Structure 1
Amino acid sequence: MEVVVRGESRILAPVIAASGARYQLPGDPDTQFWGKGPLATVIWSGEALPQCAPAGTVIPPFRASGNEPFWAVDYDGWQLTLREPGKPPRAVDAQVLETRPDGQTIGGGDGQKALRLRVDDGICVDSMSGMPRPQRVTLQEEGESRQGCGGDPSRLLQGAVWKVVEMSGKQVATDPSTWISFLTDGKIAGSTGCNRFFGAYGLTGEGLVIDKVASTRMACPPAQLESEQQFTQHLLAVRGFDFDDSGALILNGVAGDLRAVADASAQ
């Protein structure tokens, strides 16, 4: 099997697996592909990449929620569990009832106990926290429909190299480029346009926090060093994220916003 990551091609050979189809780079157990049903896990030189799935797939464990009044649904691949304030959790055995090009419907139970959760790809911003999520959801219960958002917000950040093009509305030099990559283990890596950096990020109930940033200490021209300092100040002040109409990532912060676009050449 040929696997291409960030423009690099590697040929993997099949190996024995307890379940699914597993492939590994000969002589390198830290590079492998493991497919189970519609989902696949790729480890590339020891780096775990975001889980691969066809467009519209609901990836367990999946959580969706809505407001006014608040509700939350969890799907673990076997059951849908509905939680509402002041009521005991309600769980039903569930399965995929419908698969569409951009979504799926999960459901279980009969009659008044039936739960249906329609999930469609598309950025959905939580009306209370402002947190973007990767999917829009509709919960159907007892003849009523409730709207909400679902999926892991980190999937909106991971799997791309984000090339910074603006800081506080001002254009950033593109040669050399400033970029950020959000990894699956809660770490970030990138370049300030002068030095390589790494750090950590976390998603809270209401936003995005970046900290523990460190970098190499290469000597660079004064203009690049000034840009690096401004970028680092912006990065450490990030408190949330969003996307504009063009699909660019907006990292919102108290020092100003960073605007970044996915670098297709680095995928």
Structure 2
Amino acid sequence: MSRPLAWRLVAPLALCATLSACATGDAAVTLRAHGNEPFWSLEIGRVLRFSELGGRPLEGAVPEARTLDGVRRYTATVGGRLLEVAAAPRVCHDDMSGMPYPLAVSVAVDGRRLQGCGGDPAVLLRGAEWVVEDIDGGGIVDRSRVTLNFRADGRLDGRASCNRYTASYALSGEGLSVGRAASTLMACVPALMHQERRFLDVLQGVNRFEIGETGELRLIDASGRRIVARR
């Protein structure tokens, strides 16, 4: 039996308090969104484009946006059909891919209300430093520090416990990948060196991420091992 909604919302994040912080990064596009069951897609940039699987695409001029309580709304008549769009700055997980998005988007059309996700997932990772609080269920050594900084240029860096590290990262439609890390070569006490090896081992196998209900970041590898961090 199919689920009527292919999305899930969690707690609002301060980093997406405005839609400008949740934009796709493409100057010509201010909003991209999609939904499942039924499949639909929306793009609002220089023009408004809306399509559903098996239906005739609609394209028209972008109406003036209205913002109320942080939710940006558009109302337009396109091809003789009324479209009402609402984009709210709340984390939305796509139930098909599991990918988190920074916007919960709804489209009202033909008496139906379609629900989905929008914006650029990268904005959920970038910004303030993440401080790791757990590595694969084992916590971290008292008074040690493990961090993650996702840079806009596709670089990930931080402290691995003893040494500094740097790696590349990339987002696709299905998940997150992290390249092999390079690190400095300082030696520390055995407990910190062991923790550093565990951290880097899990990190380089990461293939997806989640944002938890209290705003924590979860980096997860193919075997289910995870790194949990907070701002």
TM-score range, shorter chain: 0.7 to 0.9
Structure 2 counterpart of 1:72, from 37, 41, 55? 41
Which runs of structure 2 are paired with 1:165-184 in the superposition (5 Å)?
165-173=133-141, 175-184=143-152
- Counterpart-to-counterpart distance in 1, 2:79 and 2:58: 14
Identity, in percent, stands at 33
Alignment of 1:105 with 2:68, yes or no, is: no
Larger radius of gyration: 1
User: Residue in 2 aligned with 1:164?
Assistant: 132
- In the alignment, the residues of structure 2 paired with residue 223 and residue 173 of structure 1 have an alpha-carbon distance, to the nearest angstrom, of 7
Contact 1:80 1:107 in 2 (8 A): no
Q: What is the rounded CA distance, in whole Å, between the counterparts of 2:135 and 2:17 in structure 1?
A: 34
Alignment of 1:113-128 (within 5 A): 113-128=81-96
Say if 2:16 and 2:102, in contact at 8 Å, map to a contact too. no
Q: Tell me the TM-score normalized by structure 2.
A: 0.83
Q: Which structure's residues are more often strand, by fraction?
A: 1
- What secondary structure does 1:189 align onto? strand
Alpha-carbon distance between aligned partners in 1 of 2:197 and 2:104, rounded to the nearest angstrom: 38
Q: CA RMSD for the aligned pairs? A: 2.0
Does residue 62 of the first structure (1) align with residue 31 of the second (2)?
yes
- Between Structure 1 and Structure 2, how many residues are aligned? 210
- Match of 2:157, SS state, is strand
Code of the residue aligned with 1:170 in structure 2: it is: G
Runs of 5+ in structure 1 lacking a partner?
1-51, 263-267
The answer to whether the 8 A contact 2:105-2:115 is kept is: yes
SS of the residue corresponding to residue 231 of structure 1 reads helix
Show the counterpart of 2:113.
Answer: 145
Q: Distance in 2 between matches of 1:170 and 1:105?
A: 44
Aligned residues of 1:66 and 1:146 also touching (Cα < 8 A): yes
Return the alpha-carbon distance in structure 1 between the equivalents of residues 54 and 222 of structure 2.
37
Give the Cα separation in 1 of the matches to 2:66 and 2:142.
Answer: 44
The CA deviation string for residues 140-180 of structure 1, in whole angstroms up to 9 with x for no partner, is: 22232101111111111110201011011221125331000
Letter in 1 for 2:113: S
**Secondary structure at the residue paired with 2:188?**
coil
Q: TM-score, normalised by structure 1?
A: 0.73
Distance (whole Å) between structure 2 residues aligned to residue 67 and residue 259 of structure 1: 29
Query: 1:87 deviation in Å?
Result: 4.0
Query: What is the alpha-carbon distance in structure 1 between the residues aligned to residue 150 and residue 142 of structure 2?
Result: 20
Q: Secondary structure at the match of 2:181?
A: strand
Once the two structures are TM-superposed, the CA of residue 112 in structure 1 deviates from its matched residue by: 3.1
Residue in structure 2 matched with residue 261 of structure 1 by the alignment: 230
Question: Counterparts of 1:12-51 in structure 2 under 5 Å?
Answer: none
| Displacement of 1:133 | 0.6
Residue identity matched to 1:226: H
Partner residue in 2 for 1:134: 102
